[in-house]
Structure 1
């Protein structure tokens, strides 16, 4: 088996990507092949953000080394420009040890920044500060209208509800760069040979699974986790404080949302995020979809243990088959 390749496991949230990575690495170890995981989840970069990101506990990682998880404080900003060189450095380091790098995550831009060759537009701190001040004074709509005048194509695809991205897009446009830097190139070229596997769950099944997972997060103590993160400065962080689930938990703790409303809003945003993830990964020419059946994911609590283990084993074997081709 060619361990110089990258095995990328991607797909929408809630499809069992982390579990599959462990199962594949364990099966490879049985064949005398070592593997290590590189995280590609923007929110799992943060220490202390465990429940709301469905981060796999260390004791459930099977002794498999994991990289780019728990590397930032919640008060720090996570950007893809920061992430890309560190993830690639981790991959090269894994290869130097004769092990297979497994890139795992659902943050599409982060995955793309590792798999494909594309550069990031320049930054101008003074221009950024001016745009942030204008946004505070005038609102997002006026900045978005200006962006439409400078770069209509980028204005169409940028997330208008994400102020940080609107500002960044306008910064790039005003610096006369071509388009918005946080986008997959039209004809991406692989940075390194890779096998890209996407986990698929039918939409009707995934929706119920995601809604149930959000409810379990609250039962598992998400509010207590967020209380601790408030003491660590999560509200000073421009990225962590906006994470789905965490923003709603903060609002509940501040008395701005009831628990029922916080859960409902988190469910709605999670469903929307999953749709956007599927759309993003569909653009990958290299992507090979695998069906992640109901009994192969961690929230299939009703599945008999033997059936659950067999189903996970079949999925891991299918992934290894794709890798060996």
Structure 2
């Protein structure tokens, strides 16, 4: 079957389930190229702590949207949406299949779904952040409750509080009105790997242990010299915030490793909740036989046209 007859393929789900390896295998079998949808793998130098695929692990498959930002830059869902869709079009023009791989839920939805993203205004955001610093979140939350009660009920952190008010001031519309619909912009099949919970926890612990052994602390120290602390997005990456505490003398490496394991498990749980809420995702047993064969069959059965979606 030609690449043009196949849908966009997305390998999604929780961290530590084997998305990277399956994405590469599918790209090899289907004649595809990988587009990264892990927001922390956008950053140059953040390799060990994000489990970024090495050149050997990529197995000659072209990868896109890796290493596109410095750690001081802020990742943007709107910017990613445009870049990812441009990648899809260019890959299709080469007669190949786009294989989107990552577990950053909103970034995946931005690439695949009908989703209108409001713009940004640095001046408005800076003013709101000054108000937040001077007055605390209470006054801003009360303001949001008046103009956008639905978003006020959902917002759980200061960053999203500022963003919701910025969107209201820019557009006059509630932030909640920009939520994505479950409607693909192009024929797509989403695949996720199902791993037993106890096994996933064990995998995540081993993964963090391997990262520490591979030099995560040294990587964080090097990135700290390049402005990691100032990075609004990069500094929050799993493992990096915890090991910045080691660099700054606030924690031991053992404490940072344990905190990273706990945070990674919590993150994986949130990812599973996000992707299980989407009925379009096909779940595959990661431990079952013939994983790649089963994934290819699902992709081929989901092809566009009279027999597909």
- The reply to whether TM is greater than 0.5 is yes
Contiguous gaps of at least 5 residues in structure 1: 29-33, 297-310
Matched, 1:9 2:31: no
1:224 maps to what in 2? Answer: 218
Matched, 1:236 2:230: yes
Q: Number of aligned residue pairs: give it.
A: 298
2:173 maps to what in 1? Answer: 177
Retained in 2: the 8 A contact 1:121–1:177?
Answer: no
1:60 to 53, 57, 63: 57
Structure-to-structure mapping, 1:127-276, within 5 angstroms: 127-160=124-157, 163-175=158-170, 176-180=172-176, 184-185=179-180, 187-276=181-270
Aligned mates of 1:165, 1:55 — CA distance in 2: 27
Contiguous gaps of at least 5 residues in structure 2: 302-309
How far the C-alpha of 1:218 sits from its partner, in A, is 1.3
C-alpha distance 140-291 of structure 1, shift in aligned 2 (>3 A): farther
Aligned mates of 2:232, 2:242 — CA distance in 1: 15
How far the C-alpha of 1:149 sits from its partner, in A, is 3.4
Structure-to-structure mapping, 1:300-319, within 5 angstroms: 311=289, 314-319=290-295
Q: Alpha-carbon deviations, 1:193-232, whole Å to 9, x = none?
A: 0011111112222122112211221121101111111122
Structure-to-structure mapping, 1:25-36, within 5 angstroms: 25-28=27-30, 34-36=31-33
Aligned mates of 1:277, 1:184 — CA distance in 2: 17
Secondary structure, counterpart of 1:8 in structure 2: strand
How far the C-alpha of 1:76 sits from its partner, in A, is 1.1
Q: Alpha-carbon deviations, 1:243-288, whole Å to 9, x = none?
A: 1110111111101222232122212211111111111112323211
How far the C-alpha of 1:141 sits from its partner, in A, is 4.6
Q: Give the alignment's Cα RMSD to 1 decimal.
A: 1.8
Aligned mates of 1:238, 1:229 — CA distance in 2: 14
2:81 to 84, 88, 91: 84
How far the C-alpha of 1:184 sits from its partner, in A, is 4.5
After TM superposition, the score normalised by the length of structure 1 is 0.86
Matched, 1:105 2:99: no
